[in-house]
Amino acid sequence: MENSLILIIVLLPLAGALLNGIVAAANAYRKKEIWGEKISGILAFSTVALSFILSMYAVFVKMAGAEAIACTPYQWMTAGGLNVNITFMIDHLSAVMLLVVTGVSAVIHFYSIGYIHGDKSSVRYFTYLNLFVFAMLLLILGDSMPVMFVGWEGVGLCSYLLIGFWYKEDEKAAAGKKAFIVNRIGDFGFLLGMFLIFANVGSLAIADVNEYFHQHNSMTFFWTNVAAICLFIGATGKSAQIPLYVWLPDAMAGPTPVSALIHAATMVTAGVYMVCRFHGVYLAAPVAMQVVLWVGGLTALFSATIALYQNDIKKVLAYSTVSQLGFMFMAAGAGAFVIAIFHLMTHAFFKACLFLGSGSVIHAMGGEQDIRYMGGLKKFMPATFLTFTLATLAIAGFPPFAGFFSKDEILWNVFASGHGNKIVWLIGMVAALCTAFYMFRLVYLTFFGSFRGSRQQEHHLHESPKTMTVPLMILAALSVVGGWIGIPKLLSFGAIPNYFHDYLEPTLSKYGHVHIDHYSHATEYALMALSVAIAFAGWLLARMLFRELKYRLPDPATYTGISRLLWNKYFIDEIYMKFIVNPIKYLSTNIFLNIADKKIIDGAANGSASGWKWVAVLLSFFQSGNIQAYGFYMLFGATIAFIFALFLF
């Protein structure tokens, strides 16, 4: 088998997961530890790190100059016209994803060793975490839709297990379940799209599908768009877009490194990756592109506004993630797939850093997540403060931090691309303003001013151990410099090549280019300046309001009007509960079970049984027990028979 290196990259985390899993099971069976958190943590970290190193080797050495390398371990299923191979392929798109995923995962695994220290179930934790990396690798390296789908649902499973990791608390288990089911709704769309594509293309290999839509498309305009939208429904589930974003904020119930890895850096970006993977399909489906653009834009604004009023440090970051994913979809919808992936990458760096930073804060606060009871942490945990601030600058879009380049390019593409839209651009600008505001609100409330928590907490405050701060520093550094590989030519005046763009462009424009309207350079500079100005505006506003917070933040219960609406997240959860979940439960219990099943169907069966019983009761009146009555019946019958015989024959 050629390129078995890829196979090793994929299987290493699985091996780690299996080993840790077996040990966890054996620990449980023998009621004594074979090995504890330390070895399992190191094992988990080293498999992922090794996988990262091998990925680097594969991408930079083996793949140098080539378009793609692939490896096919075996044939998965064949039935009729369906033929699915387990094939792992690294092309330029999946190479970027591969490096981001394994790299960030390795960092977060390292962080986890410090974070999970002292938890009894740490072996289980590392099992799940490694399994997640394996599933994620399947997702990004899978060469055909079913293999991708294995990873797609696999990451969903790991997300479910990790959100509900502390399953003894009911809300956490419920949050995990919610994540899985909402994701399943998305998968339902993905499956339908897959079926529709298979019925027409006759193959599920990604290259075949893109090629078909690019050149041989014999589907009508309507069905082409339906197929693309079905796939996008899958993406909205996984990447937490309207209307399926509701699971992500709840998913913050999981351990914080999990939030950083799964619910910020890697898994939730799978939808964006998928849309880019199928750019051949989307370019053939303009309506679907518009849907992607609008859903992305609306989600970006919608969740950014919710984030304005949240007081839970992780909830703010969660809504921020939803919003940033919206930005990525805006880029994809505008046809700027390269930029979408670019933002995906930079977002992975700074959002992972933010989450890990928040984890460090929560660790120091002894589990407290409410920013109303924080403040002034700057002097207690300088490393966390510094890295958190750098990442905030990046997400807010200050030049020259990573987020600036990617976000600015997204807005520019939405503005200028043939698929773009000026209204969505405006929405994006407002969302960017909100982003800067709520992020700096978070920073000021957490790290500035005076401490507002209890004495006990203040006494306990400390900087986190090295295992936790070193990953923070790595990620903060990446948040600063990560964007420099994709500096637009316009800014550097052509002096620095736009490495990122040059690397991805051939892969992502294989199935057609998107027309970019012509604007003067002056316009472009002006827009760039505007987006920087917006970042500053958000910062200044937050500084004005929250720099030196002398008063307690109001109790959310007293909110009225818009603030009440935002604090309650537009009541979306309640609406879903009332109009979807409860009706289904009501229908199942009261109508299907109690009426249809018990009354109608069983009623018919039991009714026919008891009907015969009544017939029997009726007939048994003749069975009087009196011999002479029987004699009479006999005589009567004989007479009838006699008359019958006499007159009819």
Partner 1 sequence: MSNTIGDFILGSGGIFTISVVIILFVIGVATFMFRRTLLHMLMGVELMLNAVNLNLIYFARLHQNLEGQMLSLMIFVVAACEVAVGIAIIVNLYKRTGTIGVETYSEERG
Partner 2 sequence: MGILSWTLLIPLFGGILMMLIPSRDSYSEKSSASIYGWIALGITTLAMVVSIFMLINFDNSADGYQFQEKFEWIPQFGLNYHLGIDGISILLFMLTTIIMPFSVLSSFKYIQKRKKEYYIWLLFLEFTMLGAFVALNLFIFYIFWELMLIPMFFLIGIWGGPKRIYATVKFVLFTVVGSLMMLAGIVYLAILARNTFGEFTFEFEQLMKLNIPLQTQLWLFAAFALAFAIKVPMFPFHTWLPDAHVEAPTAGSVILAGVLLKMGGYGFIRLGIPLFGDAALQAAPLMQLLAVIGIVYGACLALAQSDLKKLVAYSSISHLGYVMLGLFALTPEAIQGSILQMVNHGISTGALFALVGMIYERRHTREIADFGGLAYRLPLFSVAFMIITLSSVALPGTNGFIGEFLILLGSFKAAWAQYLAHQQVFGLVLMVFATSGVILGAYYMLWMVQRVFFGPLNNDKNKNLKDLSFREMVVLIPFIIFVFWIGLFPKSYLTKMEKSVNSYVEQYQPQELKQKLTVPDEHEGLAEKSTEIIKTKP
Residue 602: phi and psi, rounded to 5, are: -65, -35
Contact status: 620 vs partner 1 (CB under 8 A): yes
Consecutive H or E run containing 82: strand 82-91
A 10 A CB-CB count for 381 gives 23
Tokens of 480: 């600063």
The nearer residue to partner 1, 591 or 635, going by C-beta atoms, is 635
Q: In sequence order, which residues have a C-beta less than 8 Å from that of residue 181 and are 6 or more positions away?
A: none
Q: CA neighbours within 13 Å on the CB side: how many for 97?
A: 28
Told to check if 216 binds partner 2 by CB under 8 A, we report yes
- 627 part of the interface to partner 1, by CB under 8 A: yes
Asked whether position 77 contacts partner 2 by CB under 8 A, the answer is yes
- State in angstroms the smallest separation of the CB of 154 from partner 2: 6
- Check: CB of residue 123 under 8 Å from CB of residue 23: yes
| Among positions 628, 646, 647, 649, the unique one binding partner 1 when judged by CB under 8 A | 628
Per CB under 8 A, the list member of 29, 74, 621, 649 interacting with partner 1 is 621
Of 155, 256, 294, 178, nearest to 572 by C-alpha is 178
Binders of partner 2 among residues 554 to 613 (CB under 8 A) are: 584-585, 587-589, 592-593, 596-597, 601-602, 605, 609
| Interface pick for partner 1 out of 619, 645, 646, 648 (rule CB under 8 A) | 619
Least distance from partner 1 to the Cβ atom of residue 628, Å: 6
Residues of this chain, 430-469, that bind partner 1 according to CB under 8 A = none
Site residue total, partner 1 (CB under 8 A)? 13
625 binds partner 1 (CB under 8 A): yes
Coil, strand or helix at 370: strand
Q: Which of 257, 261, 318, 267 is nearest to 467 (CA)?
A: 257
| Among partner 2, partner 1, none, residue 154 binds (CB under 5-8 Å by kind) | partner 2
Distance from the first to the final alpha carbon of the chain: 91
> What whole-number distance in Å separates Cα of residue 649 and Cα of residue 646?
6
Residue 456 vs 620, nearer CB to partner 1? 620
Q: Between 544 and 627, whose beta carbon lies closer to partner 1?
A: 627
Minimum distance from residue 188 beta carbon to partner 2 (Å): 5
The C-alpha atoms of residue 114 and residue 495 are separated, in whole angstroms, by: 43
For residues 81 and 625, which CB has a smaller minimum distance to partner 1 in the complex? 625
CB 259 within 8 A of CB 252: yes
What residues contact residue 365 under an 8 Å CB cut-off, 6+ apart?
373, 374, 453, 457, 460, 461
Q: With CB under 8 A as the contact rule, which of the stretches 33-41, 379-387, 568-576, 630-638 interacts with partner 1?
A: 630-638
3-state class of 74 per DSSP?
A: strand
**642 near partner 1 (CB under 8 A):** no
620: partner contacted, choices partner 2, partner 1, none (Cβ within 5-8 A by kind)? partner 1
Which of these ranges, 41-49, 111-119, 267-275, 618-626, lies near partner 1 under the rule CB under 8 A?
618-626
Residue 470 to residue 499: CA distance in whole angstroms: 28
The smaller minimum CB distance to partner 2, of residues 150 and 532, is found at 150
Is residue 631 within the footprint of partner 1 (CB under 8 A)?
yes
Residue 614 sits in the site that holds partner 1 (CB under 8 A): no
625 binds, among partner 1, partner 2, none (CB under 5 to 8 A by kind): partner 1
67/507 Cα distance (integer angstroms): 8
Binding residue for partner 2, selected from 33, 211, 524, 573, defined by CB under 8 A? 211
DSSP state of 312: B
Residues in contact with partner 1 by the rule CB under 8 A:
619-628, 631-632, 635
